[in-house]
């Protein structure tokens, strides 16, 4: 590892865990799309699943994982190509993406979970 | 530059380039599906309407191919950190690449061959899609 600091360790671990999670999700996601080829009723029944409270909460988790993985990936690219190898810079970027992840999660979580409280979902 | 001699250079570059594309593609996809449509409006007709435009089929196909190869690449680099797995690298890599390839083939088959049943697009009258059409956000 290039920068052995606590934040670096944590972002490295989170990047792997979210990466594995998203990869597994993507496979299931594509397999689910097979319902499009089976027929309209089958597909409509399949997507009803995503409107359940469990899936709405899971979608918040998915959004968080994707946001973290994407922003941290961007951080890695910036570190690689800026040529700035100080742990201070890596730490600084780490806290910026923590901030950005939380910032983007707020409106996203609100939109995803709002129907739960309005009784639309389920 | 000396990086040409290092094994895994292509994977390194591919990971950064596909990752950059995926940030943009998935950002659009997530906003489209979850915020513009909402998961309660993903009926067959919605998909038929969306995939009526080749643009969205190309976007989804790009996301599929980049996503699965990026993912397989990432899993492989994780596996390489484990000595016991490195010993049987060829088998593990074959396994991961096979899963990735099968998913790409199935996904592409759906995207390319999907043709909505008679009347599915015409009878589609969701106000959300009309809004999208009026604002020209399709193209």
Question: What domains, with CATH codes, occur in chain B?
Answer: 9-135 (1.20.1300)
Rg (CA), chain A: 18
Residues sharing a CB contact under 8 Å with residue B23, sequence separation 6 or more, in sequence order? A70, A73, A74
Q: Can you give the pLDDT at residue A5?
A: 56
The whole-angstrom distance between B42's CA and the closest CA on chain A is: 7
What average pLDDT does the segment B120-130 reach?
53
Is the pLDDT at B129 greater than 60? The verdict is no
Nearest-CA residue of chain A relative to B60? A30
The number of beta carbons lying within 10 Å of the beta carbon of residue A15 is 18
Could you tell me the residue ranges of all domains in chain A?
6-118
The C-alpha atoms of residue A14 and residue A68 are separated, in whole angstroms, by 8
Is the pLDDT at B88 greater than 90? The verdict is yes
Q: What is the pLDDT of residues A93-106, one digit of tens each?
A: 999 999 999 999 99
Residues sharing a CB contact under 8 Å with residue A54, sequence separation 6 or more, in sequence order? none
The whole-angstrom distance between B134's CA and the closest CA on chain A is: 23
A6-118 CATH? 1.20.1300.10
The tokens describing B5, both together, are 């001699």
CB-nearest to A30 from B19, B74, B106 is: B106
Q: Can you give the pLDDT at residue B124?
A: 47
The C-alpha atoms of residue B24 and residue B29 are separated, in whole angstroms, by 9
In a mutagenesis test of the B interface, which of A23, A31, A122 is the best target, namely the one with the most B β-carbons within 10 Å?
A: A23
Within 29-68 of A, beta carbons closer than 8 Å to B belong to: 30-31, 33-34, 36-37, 39-40, 43-44, 47, 50-51, 55-56, 59, 63, 66
Cβ pair B23:A36 closer than 8 A: no
Q: Can you give the pLDDT at residue A121?
A: 54
Mean pLDDT value across chain B: 86
Size of interface A-B (CB pairs under 8 A): 89
Q: Can you give the pLDDT at residue B73?
A: 96
Cβ contacts of A106 on chain B, cutoff 8 Å? none
Cβ proximity of B78 and A20 under 8 Å: yes
Residue whose C-alpha is closest to residue B67's, from B10, B121, B24, B6: B24
Q: Which residue has the tokens 């918040």?
A: A60
């Amino acid at each position: 590892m290039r920068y052995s600091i606590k934040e670096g360790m944590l972002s490295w671990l989170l990047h792997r865990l979210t990466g594995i999670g998203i990869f597994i999700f993507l496979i299931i996601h594509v397999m689910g799309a097979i319902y499009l080829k089976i027929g309209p009723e089958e597909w409509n029944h399949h997507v009803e699943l995503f409107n359940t409270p469990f899936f709405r909460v899971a979608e918040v988790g998915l959004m968080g994982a994707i946001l973290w993985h994407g922003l941290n990936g961007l951080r890695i690219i910036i570190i690689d190509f800026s040529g700035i190898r100080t742990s201070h810079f890596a730490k600084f970027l780490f806290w910026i993406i923590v901030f950005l992840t939380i910032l983007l999660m707020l409106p996203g979580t609100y939109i995803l979970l709002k129907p739960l409280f309005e009784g639309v979902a389920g | 530059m000396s990086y040409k001699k290092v094994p895994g250079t292509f994977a390194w570059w591919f990971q950064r380039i596909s990752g950059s594309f995926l940030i943009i593609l998935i950002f659009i996809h997530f906003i489209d599906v979850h915020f513009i449509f909402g998961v309660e409006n993903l009926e067959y007709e919605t998909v038929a309407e969306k995939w009526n435009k080749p643009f969205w089929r190309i976007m989804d196909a790009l996301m599929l191919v980049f996503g699965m190869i990026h993912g397989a690449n990432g899993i492989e680099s994780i596996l390489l950190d484990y000595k016991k797995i490195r010993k049987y690298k060829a088998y593990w890599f074959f396994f991961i690449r096979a899963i990735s390839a099968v998913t790409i083939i199935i996904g592409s088959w759906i995207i390319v061959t999907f043709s909505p049943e008679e009347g599915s697009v015409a009878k589609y009258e969701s106000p959300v899609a009309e809004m999208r059409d009026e604002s020209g956000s399709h193209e």
